[in-house]
Amino acid sequence: MMAVKPSTLKPSALAYVPFVSVENMMKLVHAHGVEAFITGLAAVIEEDFKRWPEFDKTPRVASHSRDGVIELMPTADAENYGFKYVNGHPKNMREGYQTVTAFGVLSSVANGYPILLTEMTLLTALRTAATSALVGKYLAPKGAEVMAMIGNGAQCEFQAMAFRALCGINRLRLYDVDPAATDKAERNLLAQGFEVVRCTSPEAAVEGAQVITTCTADKQYATILTDNMVGAGVHINAIGGDCPGKTELHRDILLRSDIFVEYPEQTRIEGEIQQLEPDHPVTELWQVMRGEVAGRRDAKQITLFDSVGFAIEDFSALCYVHGLIADGQFCEMLDLLADPDDPRDLFGMLTRAA
C-alpha cells in the first residue's frame, strides 16, 4: 500500500494536511485487526528494504542528555520525504510517563508540502514489531514454535503478535525484573490466545526457546543474556540495545553469532556491536531480502538481529498509513499550510485577516 501522490490531491485540499491522532490510529488498527495491520505493514517494509539503494540514508540525529535522548530520523526516495521525532527516556516509567513518544511527517519531494502528520508512538511499536518478525521470517529456525521474551514492557505484546502473524509462534516464555510487567503481559497475551509460561529468571526463560527477544529499557551497559544461555541454532532478536551506552548481550555472544543489521553506520554507534571492533563483519538485511547474500544457512547457526530501528522503516509506516487513509477515514484535516490567493503575497493574507 503506497502513499497517494500529491499530484492526485485537489488544489483546494493542498492547504490542509491529513492528521492521524492517537484515537484515530487505534481505530485504524482495530478496523483492520492488529495482526492484519502488522502483516500489511511488514509487506511494505519488505518492499522498501528490497529497494534500499533508492533511499537517502543517514544515521539518526540524536540529542543526548543525562535523562534520555531525543532523535530525528529522516529519509527520502524520489517521491516522498519522511521523518520521525522520537524520544527515549527510561526514567519516564517511574514518573508515570511513556518511555517512548513519537510523531511523524510525510512530505512530497516535488513541492515540499507535507501530506501526512501522524502520531507514531503506537505506530513505532507496530513497525518495530513488524520489522522484528519480518527479519525472523528470514533468520529464525525453520518450524520455530517457542519464543523467550526477556523484558515485558510496552513492546512485548506487539512483538508476540507480530511473530505469530509472520512466523507462526504461539508459545511464549516471559521474564521481567518487575513482576508487575509480567503480570500485565501475561494478562494481555492470554487474552489474545497465546500459550504463556511465566519464568523466574532469564535462564529459565530461554529453556527450549528457538527465538530469544530481549527488550529492556534501562540506558546502561547490561548483560541480559550471557554466553552460556545461548545454544546452537537460536535466533536472537535484540531490540533493547538501541543507543550509545546501552546494550543487553554479553560480547562473547556476538563473537559466536552471524550478525544482521539495518544500517551499519548507525548500528555500530547504537547497537550491540558498539562492543566490537569497528570493522567486525556484519550483514545488511536488505541484501538478504534481495537474495544477494545468505541469511540462515544451517540448523546450528546462531543468528542475531542487532535491531536499533532505522528511518526507512518509519518511512514505510508513514506511506502505509497514508495509503490506508486515502479515502478520508481515520483522519482529520489540519489547517497547517498558508494558502494565499497570490503565492507571493503572504503579508497581504496576514493583513486581510485582521
Which residues have a catalytic role annotated?
A: 242
Cell reading at 240: 533493547
CB count within 10 Å of CB 96 equals 6
Burial of 296-316, coded b for 16+ CB within 10 Å and e otherwise, reads beeeebbbbbbbbbbbbbbbb
Cell reading at 191: 487474552
Contacts (Cβ under 8 Å, ≥6 apart) of 291? none
H helical segments located in the chain = 22-32, 34-50, 121-139, 156-167, 179-191, 202-205, 251-256, 264-270, 285-289, 311-324, 346-352
Cβ burial of 235 (10 Å; 0-12, 13-18, 19+) is: buried
Strand partners, 259: 304
Angle at 206 between CA 197 and CA 219, to 5 degrees: 100
Pairing state between β 171-175 and 146-150? parallel
Residue type (1 letter), 122: L
Assess contact for 194 and 171: CB atoms under 8 A. Answer: yes
CB count within 10 Å of CB 187 equals 11
CA dist., res. 146 & res. 164, Å (int) = 10
> Minimal CA–CA distance to 319: which of 120, 90, 175?
120
